[in-house]
């Protein structure tokens, strides 16, 4: 005779687990989840901008642009 295994979704398992926690423990879980979400956001930002212009090149470009603008105005 085969036994039927009840498979719950991860969302259902989390909901059942968290609903049984005290308010203090719920707050601790929320803090952990928030920290993980922020870390994921930061990692995505880093991945997105990793291939961008290096900071020093951007600074040099800005400096050159300001110098060119200043030189153009001082000649008038």
- What's the rounded Cα separation, in Å, for the pair 56 and 62? 10
- Cα(37)–Cα(60) distance, rounded to whole angstroms? 35
Comparing 30 with 1, the larger pLDDT belongs to 30
Query: 73: pLDDT confidence band, cut at 50, 70 and 90?
Result: low
pLDDT tens sequence across 28-61 = 988 998 999 899 988 888 887 777 778 788 889 9
| Encoded tokens for 70 | 């200043």
Q: Kindly give, in sequence order, each residue whose CB lies less than 8 Å from that of residue 74, ignoring residues fewer than 6 positions away.
A: none
Residue 21 has, within 13 A of its CA and on its CB side, a CA count of: 13
């Amino acid at each position: 005779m085969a036994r039927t295994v009840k498979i719950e979704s991860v969302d259902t398992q989390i909901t059942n687990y968290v609903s049984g926690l005290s308010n203090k423990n719920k707050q601790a879980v929320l803090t952990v989840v928030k920290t993980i979400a922020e870390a994921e956001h930061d990692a995505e930002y880093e991945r997105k901008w990793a291939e961008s212009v290096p900071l020093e090149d951007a600074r040099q470009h800005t400096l050159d642009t300001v110098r060119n603008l200043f030189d153009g105005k001082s000649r008038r």
